[in-house]
């Protein structure tokens, strides 16, 4: 039995600190901590430095008012980086056509895709006129052209309450993802959710248990975004509920895993990394 501990890819933003959506839980705050690559040449330069350190890239940024990451001007540069062996994970947002999916395919190794199960959340948190089905169709379009897609569900994204998370998990049954990443709302100062209480660990544990039951062949991950308060309890509960991938876990979590008979492995990559790419990394047990 094995538990894998991940160290995230370096994030870059193709829009710098700008985002047309300014979602309630983020407000552009997280863009400020990404490398600003508002031009293809900047992406190539940053990618070369990142690859030189043996790291991969999280290709991200602010979204348009339609929920799309404006990647088109960067796809050729991303493809050049990918050809050098630099692993690229992308947050692409909504993808409306197979044509767009095909363009993305040549520029990335895999895609991290948010899946939201509530129209109310899509309206009130993200400010979009989309539906839960639009998120499912995005994943299906990307899968349909041969892109490995890793869905992400954020527990408590509706101002700390569960609303569409269970529906999102059930919807993934038809997609059979290799990996599913769970994030947990992290109240961030300066955002509209800065003083919101995140869902307690036991509630998140119930979601993980549901996913374990409905998606028996899917690896479950606890992602980077989770609150500091209650973190030890959350990670321990996730471990016991069947999560086998952890982004930056506490030492207490890895010690608990070893006491339970698990081998603990460090992976210098995003926790969404598909298993077929693991042989391209240097790993330490």
Please calculate the CA angle 28-32-37 and round it to the nearest 5 degrees. 105
Domains, the chain, in order of start with CATH, read: 2-284 (3.20.20.70)
Q: Give the separation between CA 28 and CA 26, rounded to whole angstroms.
A: 5
What would you report as the CA-atom Rg of the chain, rounded to the nearest whole angstrom?
Answer: 18
The predicted pLDDT at position 55 comes to: 83
Please calculate the CA angle 271-105-170 and round it to the nearest 5 degrees. 55
Q: Which residues of 205-241 are buried (b: 16+ CB within 10 A; e: fewer)?
A: bbbbeebbeebeebbbbbbbbbbeebbeebbbbbbeb
Q: How far is CA 285 from the centre of its chain?
A: 24
The pTM of this model reads: 0.96
The predicted pLDDT at position 246 comes to: 98
CA distances from 190 to 23, 66, 231 (A): 12, 24, 22
The predicted pLDDT at position 51 comes to: 87
Q: Give the separation between CA 148 and CA 277, rounded to whole angstroms.
A: 11
Mean pLDDT taken over the chain: 95
Token digits for 65? 């008012």
* Strands of 219-222's sheet in order across: 35-36, 10-13, 57-60, 88-91, 110-114, 148-155, 179-184, 219-222, 245-247, 2-6, 263-267, 283-284
The residues pairing with 10 across neighbouring beta strands, listed in sequence order, are 57
Please calculate the CA angle 126-130-132 and round it to the nearest 5 degrees. 95
Q: Give the separation between CA 194 and CA 128, rounded to whole angstroms.
A: 21
pLDDT tens sequence across 116-152: 999 999 999 999 999 999 999 999 999 999 999 999 9
Q: Is 34 exposed, middle or buried (0-12, 13-18, 19+ CB in 10 A)?
A: buried
Token digits for 154? 């954020």
Per-residue tens of pLDDT for the chain, all 285 residues: 899 999 999 999 999 999 999 999 999 999 999 999 999 999 999 999 998 888 899 999 999 999 999 999 999 999 999 999 899 999 999 999 999 999 999 999 999 999 999 999 999 999 999 999 999 999 999 999 999 999 999 999 999 999 999 999 999 999 999 999 999 999 999 999 999 999 999 999 999 999 999 999 999 999 999 999 999 999 999 999 999 999 999 999 999 999 999 999 999 899 999 999 887 765 433
Q: Which of 16, 21, 23 is nearest to 188 (CA)?
A: 23
Q: Whose structure tokens read 């990404």? A: 34
The predicted pLDDT at position 232 comes to: 97
Token digits for 91? 């947050």
Q: Is 189 exposed, middle or buried (0-12, 13-18, 19+ CB in 10 A)?
A: exposed
């Amino acid at each position: 039995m094995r538990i894998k501990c991940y160290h995230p890819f370096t994030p870059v933003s193709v829009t710098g600190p700008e985002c047309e959506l300014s979602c309630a839980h983020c407000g552009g705050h997280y863009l400020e901590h990404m490398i600003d690559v508002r031009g293809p040449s900047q992406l190539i330069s940053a990618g070369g430095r990142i690859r030189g350190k043996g790291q991969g890239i999280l290709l991200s940024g602010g979204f348009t008012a339609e929920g799309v990451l404006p990647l088109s001007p960067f796809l050729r540069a991303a493809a050049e980086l990918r050809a050098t062996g630099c692993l690229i994970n992308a947050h692409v947002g909504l993808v409306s056509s197979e044509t767009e999916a095909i363009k993305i395919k040549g520029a990335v190794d895999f895609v991290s895709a948010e899946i939201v199960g509530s129209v109310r959340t899509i309206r009130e948190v993200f400010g979009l006129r989309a539906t839960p089905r639009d998120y499912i169709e995005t994943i299906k379009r990307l899968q349909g052209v041969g892109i490995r897609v890793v869905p992400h569900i954020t527990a408590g994204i509706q101002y700390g309450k569960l609303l569409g998370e269970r529906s999102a998990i059930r919807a993934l049954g038809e997609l059979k993802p290799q990996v599913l990443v769970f994030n947990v709302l992290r109240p961030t100062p300066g955002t509209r959710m800065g003083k919101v209480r995140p869902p307690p660990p036991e509630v998140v544990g119930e979601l993980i248990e549901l996913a374990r039951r409905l998606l028996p062949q899917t690896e479950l991950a606890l992602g980077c975004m989770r609150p500091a308060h209650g973190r030890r309890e959350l990670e321990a509960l996730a471990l016991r509920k069947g999560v086998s991938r952890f982004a930056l876990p506490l030492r207490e979590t890895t010690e608990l895993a070893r006491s339970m008979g698990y081998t603990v492995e460090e992976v210098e990559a995003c926790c969404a990394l598909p298993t077929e790419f693991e042989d391209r990394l240097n790993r330490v047990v």
